Amino acid sequence: MADTDGEFFVVLINRAGRETVTQDDITVNVGPGDAVAWDSTKAARFVWEKLSNRSLIIPRAALDEVGGKAWAHPELTLRGDSPASQLLTSYLDTLASSLPRLSQSAVAAARNATLELLIGAVRPDTVDTSPRAAARLCATPSTGSSNRICSTST
């Protein structure tokens, strides 16, 4: 990363094993399913056991487009048991296998979706998971968009 042009924000997603990441005198222990962020412009130290991980490398300019300065900092961690983090990780798994076959417009859409899912994982809201709340979400007219995802199970 040090030999590349530009600044990057990296989200390291631990798939298996354990890792310790230190940057700016902040040390984070990362287990399976967890994620930690680090800044490519600063020195970072990594100590790991047998490990499998995925790195999401985001140009700082892309983060600026979505207000990333407010939340993109080295001590950022995502818990593996968070539904929003699980959604992001599952999406990245799917994207990794399909990316080479995507058209340019689909790649642009995937980029935007990745940023939105990251934002959702970083800033999760309190969620009402009751069936009634899900029905309300699906029935409520959206503001400015006709795209809604509704899923119900019985």
- Per-residue pLDDT tens digits for 13-56: 999 999 999 998 889 999 999 999 888 888 889 998 889 999 99
What is the radius of gyration, based on Cα positions, of the chain? 17
User: Is the pLDDT confidence value at 116 over 70?
Assistant: yes
Task: Quickly tell me which residue has 């048991």 as its tokens.
Answer: 81
pLDDT for position 145:
43
Spatial distance between the Cα atoms of 150 and 83, rounded to a whole number of angstroms: 16
pLDDT for position 134:
54
Asked if 63 and 37 count as a contact pair (C-beta separation under 8 A), the reply is: no
Asked if 63 and 119 count as a contact pair (C-beta separation under 8 A), the reply is: no
User: Is the pLDDT confidence value at 127 over 60?
Assistant: no
Q: All domains of the chain, ordered by start, with CATH? A: 8-139 (2.60.120.280)
Which range scores top for mean pLDDT: 66-80, 94-108, 111-125? 94-108
pLDDT for position 99:
92
Q: Which residues contact 49 (CB under 8 A, 6 or more apart)?
A: 17, 18, 19
- Amino acid identity, position 47: V
Region 74-92: what's the mean pLDDT?
A: 90
